[in-house]
Amino acid sequence: MYSSPFHPGSLRDTSFLVTGGSGFIGSNIVHYLVRHQAGKIRILDNLLTSSIANLEPYLNLPNVEFIEGDIRDLDTCHKACKGIDLVTHQAALGSVPRSVRDPLATHAINATGFLNMLIAARDAGVKRFVYASSSSVYGDHPVLPKREDETGNPLSPYAVSKKTNELYARVFAETYGMQIMGLRYFNVFGPNQSPDGPYAAVIPLFMKAALDKTAPNIDGDGEQTRDFTFVENAVQANIRALFTPDPEANNRVYNVAIGERITVNELYDIIAELTGSEVRPTYRERRAGDIRDSLADISLAKKHLGYQPTVRIREGLQQTLAWFRQTVGQ
């Protein structure tokens, strides 16, 4: 992974803050920064939905600093941003169903926590702030592929929180002259994505079931489609956004995906084939707040960030499975 860099020059003189850095996507960003010898990598995470084990290989490195803290606390955000050049903000409470069950927690972390981070980044004079948005902001807009300027009504509290991020980001960029870019991730998967807990994502759940030779659950008829995105592509988008020299790139949101979609049934078939599982899935009720189809137009990220996905779904699933076998010991 990451043999050729997505950034220009050396990272030795640059300090980074990765919020949510012990989580799935955040820890993959940390991995990239360590591999490319970033001058300073500070991580802010309260370990709410992740394990410190994701950071175990890096915690003793002299250029890595871990702050266990909460973005709901403005002082913590101020401390985390002090002396930082570039922020990649990944900390959030993920999962649409969790937000349907507990909208207040989602709002406190994803909306208020986000605002705290923007304020802290502004006060610290951070040069650029890149943050995780989500394809969920497309909501009920029916047209495919999804283009950044055509969104519908959010279908869940989670989607509202991500939409709120985009609104605040725009206002902070315009009002305080900050450099801010949002990344609308489309169903990211890969190493360090946990299959555990009630809100685990579909790919780790399918892999665990296939390796255990048990039946996975599919919500609805399985004909819903997604633009599944291997995490290396999401890391690439973050790094490219932090470094793009394009003056037109600032104050925008970008789709981060492959630009191809498959059904959930097809996804399970690939995983079953790769693992040799012959167990068939169990179908259950459609989930509240879920969108039916998802496919990204990634031309804006290509144009302004130079983003070019390098790993497609099948290869990404193979790499994820290799990690799964190592970690889960199958």
**Whose Cβ is closer to ligand NAD: residue 14's or residue 161's?**
161
Does residue 71 touch ligand NAD according to CB under 6 A? yes
Distance CA 20, CA 234 (A): 14
Does residue 48 touch ligand NAD according to CB under 6 A? yes
**What sign has the CA pseudo-torsion 16, 136, 155, 22?**
negative
Does residue 90 touch ligand NAD according to CB under 6 A? yes
Interstrand relation of 128-134 and 180-185 (parallel, antiparallel or unpaired): parallel
**Could you tell me which stretch among 39-47, 115-123, 140-148, 213-221 binds ligand NAD (CB under 6 A)?**
39-47
Give the residue ranges of DSSP H helices in 177-290.
202-212, 231-243, 264-275
Is-catalytic flag, 158? yes
**Whose Cβ is closer to ligand NAD: residue 70's or residue 123's?**
70
Does residue 22 touch ligand NAD according to CB under 6 A? yes
Distance CA 245, CA 83 (A): 22
Q: How far is the CB of 132 from ligand NAD (least distance, A)?
A: 3
Rg (CA), the chain: 19
Site pattern 130..169 for ligand NAD (x: CB under 6 A): --x-x-----------------------------------
Binder among 18, 33, 38, 49 for ligand NAD (CB under 6 A):
49
Does residue 227 touch ligand NAD according to CB under 6 A? no
What's CA 329's distance to the chain center, in Å? Answer: 26
SS3 66: strand
One of 138, 158, 168, 185 is an active-site residue; which one?
Answer: 158
Q: Rounded to a whole number, what is the distance in angstroms from the first to the last CA of the chain?
A: 22
Does residue 320 touch ligand NAD according to CB under 6 A? no
Determine the Cα angle at 259 with ends 257 and 265, to 5°. 90
Active site amino acids? 158
Residues that bind ligand NAD (CB under 6 A): 20, 22-26, 44-50, 70-72, 90-94, 109, 113, 132, 134, 185, 187-188
